[in-house]
Amino acid sequence: MTLKTLFFTILLGTLLMAQTNYENRDEIPEKYKWNLNDIYQNWDEWENGLKEMEAKMEKIVSFKGKLKEDVKNLIAAKQLEDEIGILSYKVYRYPQLTLDTDTRNQEAASKLQQVQIAFAKFGTATSWVSPEILEIPWEKMEKWLNENPEISPYKFGIEDLYRQQKHVLDEEKETLLSYFSQFNGTPRDIYTSISTTDVNFPEIELSNSEKVKATNGNYSRVLATNRNQEDRKSIFEAHYGTYTATKNTYASIYDAVCKKDWASARARNYSSSLESYLESNNIPIEVYKNLVNTVKANTEPLQKYQKLRKKALGLDKYYSYDGSISLIDDDKNYQYDDATKVVLASVKPL
């Protein structure tokens, strides 16, 4: 299966499954589900992948103190980083995607935590890498980059490291910061728990007497297909009302993220959290601000479009929950297999 096929299969599956009210995932046909066997067949295979990754992580530590001695050492270390990167993606994604299918799966949660701990340890064990590379004078590094074709795949990354040199700390400070890396994802984990794992959406009754839970899937389905504005309003209020009930917790999570980002930015000599995010992609703050101001100053076309939609739909007032309903009253449904063929045929010229 190509990446393009996979993308549109997932897209179509999401749209078409939203039309059926499955009570639980076990009721969903297999063809609509992710096939994670392309990553690993089972947890035993995953365990072997984890061990292989950890072995390579230990091996890279052997390059400490040798990177600046010979370009061959730098190339070998970079190639080993590539191998670790490929393995780490698989080792991380398998439990992560398994957990995404059921956030109550404690085995997958435990496996994912194992990977996160391994990543944190690796970050600490290799905190010396960037400082050591930057000990190499740029003139010498530039000569290595120009005279050794094997290092060309890493040229941009190395040049970018030198560009951001003032934000790289010495080995001792980098090691100290690395100890906190495993906590950086804590706000996200809390958010996932409260917004997904522990969430309990209420049931509402639509104008046709259909009873539906205001879940993400049903919310999207009703907003996109139900032509009764009161029904769309009801599921909108029920869906977001669930989150509103714990709004103070969400505010605390966001506050923690902001404080974490600020502390990290200051520790690395950035003037602000915004600069720390933009600098990694070499984007000037002025460009970002200009984008924001340009969007704010040019909302008239969008407002005009919404007025046209309001008129076309015959509504007295237009709300955010009216933005997904089609202007054409067409209830034609496509079977999954037929829809897949249509979408793939449409992108074939690409």
Average pLDDT over residues 169-193: 88
Among 93, 116, 78, 101, CA closest to 39: 93
Mean pLDDT of 92-119: 93
**What is the distance between the alpha carbons of residues 53 and 42, in angstroms, rounded to a whole number?**
17
pLDDT, residue 20, reads: 61
Residue labelled with tokens 């974490």:
260
Helices and strands (H and E) in the chain: how many: 16, 2
pLDDT exceeds 90 at position 80: yes
Query: What percentage of the chain has pLDDT greater than the value 90?
Result: 78
Q: Three-class SS of residue 202?
A: coil
Predicted confidence at residue 6, as pLDDT, reads 43
Calculate mean pLDDT across residues 48-76: 95
pLDDT in tens, 187-236: 998 998 899 888 999 999 999 999 999 999 999 999 999 999 999 999 99
CA 75 to CA 78: how far, in whole Å?
5
Residues 20 and 324: their CA atoms lie apart, in Å, by 18
Quote the pLDDT of residue 329: 83
Q: What's the mean pLDDT in 120-124?
A: 91
pTM of the prediction?
0.76
Question: What would the pLDDT profile of 295-335 be if each residue is shown by its tens digit?
Answer: 999 999 999 999 999 999 999 999 999 999 999 887 777 78
Instruction: List the single range of 97-111, 176-190, 280-294 with lowest mean pLDDT.
Output: 176-190
Number of neighbours of residue 60 by Cβ within 10 angstroms? 19
Range with the poorest average pLDDT among 8-17, 142-151, 184-193, 278-287: 8-17
Q: Where are the beta strands (DSSP E) in the chain?
A: 203-205, 211-213
Read off the pLDDT of residues 7-57 as tens digits, 9 standing for 90 and up.
444 444 444 444 566 667 778 888 888 899 999 999 999 999 999 999 999
CA-to-CA distance for 129 and 191, rounded, in angstroms?
A: 33
Q: What is the predicted pLDDT for the residue at 9?
A: 46
Local structure of residue 201 (DSSP, 8 states): P
In this prediction, residue 24 carries a pLDDT of 72
Question: Average of pLDDT values for 164-188?
Answer: 89
Q: 312, 313, 321, 324: which is closest to 224 by C-alpha?
A: 324
More confident residue, 339 or 295: 295
25-183: CATH number: 1.20.140.70
Give the pLDDT confidence score for residue 14 in this predicted structure: 47
